[in-house]
Structure 1
């Protein structure tokens, strides 16, 4: 995998909250940090990394280009602005945040601009987020499979998106799972709680262990040190085939995030 399997997310975290979350995560051993232009916290994430005891070279830093910066004359300048905020010469991964078909976005053209950013050395890797199979294939067709590091998509025990995940893995594109805990909705799931009891674990750890065992990267966020530490321990849990099958049965295509003006037609 290009993308580290375990990272810390920063969605919905701002100000001192995100600074402390990222610094704590790095202190606990996290080495991947995920942010985005639209989160409005790139400067704080940059500050947290700078103030941490971890060298920038040891951190895998991801940001995402927002839709208002998709135009040819905006994408690279906006990424340079992100780099200034993040206090770095280059990020490790830059993603197109949403395909936004309702806005008439030309995916091949957009991916071409992103590839140019990579060629300029502004980002080590590039990829997509929230793309369905059809749009991912468009991106591949235009800039080549070797240039698509990941597709960051919503995945949880309640939204397993198996056809898209299978497609990505068959093409050796890393699957990055966000919203793996479904805004916390899976934490009271009886099946997950039963499996958690068998492992002396939490439902959150089981959901994350499920995603890791599927071969996905995860980027859970938390403002609490104990939760950040607890999440990391999911890497030590190995679920049995029966437990994986029980979690597979929880799939209900329950999507938490799907803004109509940004989302594609989702794969079933």
Structure 2
């Protein structure tokens, strides 16, 4: 494995397993953040309409001199843009800001009650037109996915959810694996709120790595697509320096047992959609 290593989604599209997320990266630093990551070898950038930095992400990619087809770009439709017609318009806005004529992965950002099925129909049409190479969802629990699959004609290939050692959503991971849906982690480091955990500290010492690197490697070995965020070159480099060691099954189990069902963000059933 290396920074350009990919996993293959159920529709055959290859996605780099480690990428850069740009949630809460301010417009004034987003372009430099993405440019730095691309210079370090990152080839997977995850943004969203809601983040407000698609234009800067697009500029960084356009000015990178890296062929567009070598960079995997994800964006998402926000809650107040959902519904069939609204989603198509939102997608057009995202393409314009990203300065591209397609995205590699287009996601429903949250399962807005009463809307996400119509929104999915729009994503299916965009996919069938070749304007999104792959489509999926974010923050869907099992019951949301079951509801979606009642009417879906195209299977979602990704479910991007909060996933880290203290929120090891094993039931959801198993459900998605059975449906050939790849789980992708946002907040994969738990927003750095428990890097001083004795388990992580011990494993970091054992492998001569940082606790953050231990967590990232744990996610990768679980087959999770992982998108840590950092605006700093040093930290981006550190996050990518996880391919020269391997956690043992015992190490993995120790980290699994850190689970507390502890969220850093909202539970999808409690999100303030109104």
Q: TM-score range by the shorter chain?
A: over 0.9
Q: Which residue of 1 aligns with 2:61?
A: 49
**TM superposition shift of 1:60:** 0.6
Q: Which residue of 2 aligns with 1:221?
A: 229
Q: Map 1:117-266 onto structure 2 (within 5 A).
A: 117-144=126-153, 147-258=155-266, 260-262=270-272
Contact 1:159 1:251 in 2 (8 A): yes
1:111-166 per-position Cα deviation (integer Å, ceiling 9, x unaligned): 1121112123321110000000111122233224x531100000011100110011
Secondary structure of residue in 1 paired with 2:104: strand
- Range with greater deviation from structure 2 (190-199 or 135-144): 135-144
Distance 1:34 1:122 in 2: 17
Q: Which residue of 1 aligns with 2:3?
A: none
Contact 1:186 1:203 in 2 (8 A): no
Distance 1:32 1:63 in 2: 11
Contact 1:67 1:100 in 2 (8 A): yes
1:3-43 per-position Cα deviation (integer Å, ceiling 9, x unaligned): 32111000000223111111111111111000000000000
Contact 2:55 2:98 in 1 (8 A): yes
Distance 1:36 1:22 in 2: 14
Select the residue among 109, 124, 137 that pairs with 2:118. Answer: 109
Contact 2:158 2:184 in 1 (8 A): yes
Secondary structure of residue in 2 paired with 1:235: coil
Secondary structure of residue in 2 paired with 1:64: strand
Distance 1:133 1:214 in 2: 19
Distance 1:138 1:164 in 2: 15
**TM superposition shift of 1:107:** 3.2
Distance 2:210 2:93 in 1: 40
Distance 2:244 2:17 in 1: 13
Name the one with the larger helix percent: 1
Distance 2:145 2:109 in 1: 13
Q: Which residue of 1 aligns with 2:18?
A: 6
Which structure 1 segments of 5+ residues have no match? 264-268
- What is the root-mean-square deviation in Å for CA atoms of aligned residues? 1.4
1:70-98 per-position Cα deviation (integer Å, ceiling 9, x unaligned): 12221111101100000000000000000
**TM superposition shift of 1:262:** 4.8
Contact 1:176 1:218 in 2 (8 A): yes
Distance 2:189 2:256 in 1: 15
- Range with greater deviation from structure 2 (133-142 or 182-191): 133-142
Distance 1:138 1:246 in 2: 34
What is the TM-score with the length of structure 2 in the denominator? 0.91
Distance 2:61 2:45 in 1: 9
Secondary structure of residue in 1 paired with 2:159: strand
What is the TM-score with the length of structure 1 in the denominator? 0.93
Number of residue pairs aligned between Structure 1 and Structure 2? 259
Contact 2:77 2:107 in 1 (8 A): yes
